[in-house]
Amino acid sequence: MGGRSKDQRNVSAWRPRVPGVVEVFHAHYTEYAYPMHVHDAWTLLIVDDGAVRYDLDRHEHGTPHDTVSLLPPHVPHNGSPATPDGFRKRVLYLDASRLGDELIGPAVDAPDLRDPVLRRRVGQLHAALALPGDELEAESRLTLIGERLRTHLRPRGDEDPVPRDPVRRDPALARRLRELLDERVVAGIGLEEAAALVPAHPAHLVRAFSGAYGIAPHQYLMSRRVDRARRLLLAGRAPADVAGATGFYDQAHLTRHFKRLVGVTPGRYRASGTRRG
């Protein structure tokens, strides 16, 4: 039989251990329309399937899948499906101080941002937030997203409608961060703490490190941890023990990064060394 599917409302929500992120919210709605309401946080929204139609400050907007929508705190808005099959969305609620009150007006005027780079980065951030142990990656991605959002909302010349990432070289700063990461391979460190110790603005710190070494800080840290894990696995340690000894959240966290960098699981890697013994 044809006809429209029954109303579906599937959601998942959690609060990650990442400064500035109040809540992560994923939802799939087929018919549900939520009424006018406000949040005390910034709402950073991407739609993966379908589209949302919403009113913000008495003006109608839409969220096709190639946009990023940024709704400011304390400004009423609603939302309803704009396509027959509803919509699937991923939302980040960011602490109100993350972007600053001076950006609320520009966000009300232009909440939907067409920026493929920003859209991809928001998706990558969601992926990192879903994986315990990858908080440094999430913090790094969030600080670069915040920088790009601020650039969108500040006045620019007509000749440059899409913000460009600034090129910032600072090899001395990059070296200090690398030394800090080397000191805390197992314990790890958050981006805000690292930025306070160095000191530097978090976004500048990430860009300086990536520009100097061709790898992001979180990638460097995971590479160092995997190297330590390889040595311990070849010494006969069990993967579960190795995970804790090298700073990974759990064995699954070790396996994910180990397989990405080495091409096999820790168990297979350990077994290969045992066969030669």
Between residues 156 and 40, which one has the greater pLDDT? 40
Between residues 8 and 86, which one has the greater pLDDT? 86
User: Is 70 exceeded by the pLDDT of residue 263?
Assistant: yes
Q: What does each C-alpha distance from 263 to 25, 48, 58, 119, 243 come to in angstroms? A: 32, 30, 53, 29, 17
Name the least confident of 14-18, 63-67, 140-144. 63-67
pLDDT of res. 157? 53
201-219: pLDDT as tens digits: 999 999 999 999 999 999 9
pLDDT of res. 1? 36
Strand ranges of the sheet holding 52-56, from the earlier edge strand across to the other edge: 34-37, 77-81, 52-56, 59-62
pLDDT of res. 222? 98
215-236: pLDDT as tens digits: 999 999 999 999 999 999 999 9
| Gap between the Cα atoms of 31 and 28, Å rounded | 10
Please, which residues bridge with residue 34 across strands?
79
In terms of average pLDDT, the best of 51-55, 93-97, 152-156, 181-185 is 181-185
User: Is 80 exceeded by the pLDDT of residue 174?
Assistant: yes
Mean pLDDT of 71-91: 90
| Gap between the Cα atoms of 8 and 71, Å rounded | 25
124-143: pLDDT as tens digits: 999 999 989 999 999 999 99
**Residue the block writes with tokens 């990064």:** 257
User: Is 70 exceeded by the pLDDT of residue 71?
Assistant: yes
23-33: pLDDT as tens digits: 999 999 888 88
